Amino acid sequence: MTAVSEPGTTKLQIDLRRHLRELDEDRDLTRLICEVADASKYIVNSIRTGDLGVAGTSNLYGEDQLALDVLSDRILRKRLIHSGVVATILSEETNEVIEVDPNGKFSVAFDPLDGSSLVDVNLAVGTIVSICRGGNLLQPGREQVAAMYILYGPRTTLVYSTGRGVHEFQMNHLMEYTLTTENVRIKPSGRIYSPGGQRNLYTEGTEKYVSSLEEKGYKLRYSGGFVPDINQVMMKGTGIFLYPHLRDNPHGKLRLLFELNPMAFLIEQAGGKASTGKQRILDIEPQGIDDRAPVFIGCREDVETAEELIARYG
């Protein structure tokens, strides 16, 4: 892989488009990633106006408001449709497949505002995007050509990979994304765990797993937002996030096409691992756009320990 700078170094002057160009990325893919980045500027603005946009209410001027997740969906969808390079899009918000252009190069699945229920309590939320070649959305995650997320926290950051490492950018005062960390790497094991789902519904394997982490002194860090929780693992370079199969729900909660595939792609690119507890997330053959799966994602050895305990105890 040709890196723009040495691993671990910081270059504030490189913007997203230049980074993609210097890595010699496909021009249409560059365009698509930059369209998503541009859309996120409008999304962050909507979040920051403090106008919570509860659907069915009106704003100061008596205009009808859109819920923030609906608004974010419209912003992103419009940019993707006008990019000129997209064949098919699918949003977590509307759950409808939109055939944009049969000659388009890419299919895009996205969650425009993941964790939107956290906006009104002022916790971090994010946008997640998965990009595959061709118009077929139901491809296993290993076929993704790129994945990215944008985290709307105290700072707005964008993390992307086109299969050549994982790179982090930060939005500056001009609302441009500039490179902050190139070639993000995750350690083999960690000291943080983020457990989703109700503990009293964990299976024996997951319960033994979480207890083993606690015995080893792992600290609990769970925000309830998938993007900030994954970003924590990514940027601290350590940790494990799980949203497991539960006794009353063997499929888990998180959705394969919009959440798990893009995050698994990014985490693997950074040297981590992502598993259902039984198989690699990126090898799952999707059966439908609603597919969900349990997930153990983060430091490689921590995911492997989960797999061992689940194989033994379920």
Binding site, residues? Answer: 92, 111, 113-117, 222, 253, 259
- 112 near ligand FDP, rule: CB under 6 A: no
* 53, 135, 196, 239: residue in contact with ligand FDP (rule CB under 6 A): 196
Q: Is 114 a binder of ligand FDP (CB under 6 A)?
A: yes
For ligand FDP, the binding residue among 226, 233, 273, 302 (CB under 6 A) is 226
Half-sphere exposure of 179 (CA within 13 A, CB side): 24
Residue 87 DSSP code: E
CB of 296 to ligand FDP, least distance (A): 13
The C-alpha atoms of residue 314 and residue 301 are separated, in whole angstroms, by: 19
Q: CB of residue 196 vs ligand FDP: minimum separation in angstroms?
A: 5
Task: Tell me which residues in 61-100 interact with ligand FDP (CB under 6 A).
Answer: none
The neighbour count for residue 217, using CB atoms within 10 Å, is: 7
Q: Which residues contact 67 (CB under 8 A, 6 or more apart)?
A: 53, 54, 55, 116
Residues in 133-172 that interact with ligand FDP by CB under 6 A: none
Taking CB under 6 A as the binding criterion, the range among 24-32, 97-105, 223-231, 244-252 that sits at the site for ligand FDP is: 223-231
* Binds ligand FDP (CB under 6 A): choice among 104, 115, 135, 252: 115
Pick out residues in 239-258 that bind ligand FDP (CB under 6 A).
253-254
Which tokens go with 151? 């985290």
Asked if residue 202 binds ligand FDP (CB under 6 A), the reply is no
| Long-range contacts from 88-93, C-beta under 8 angstroms, 24+ separation | 88/135, 88/136, 88/137, 90/137, 90/257, 90/258, 90/289, 92/255, 92/258, 92/259, 93/69
Q: Whose CA is closest to 291, among 243, 259, 247? A: 259
Q: Which residues are annotated as a binding site for Mg(2+)?
A: 92, 111, 113-114, 259
Residues making contact with ligand FDP (CB under 6 A): 114-118, 196, 224-226, 229, 253-254, 259
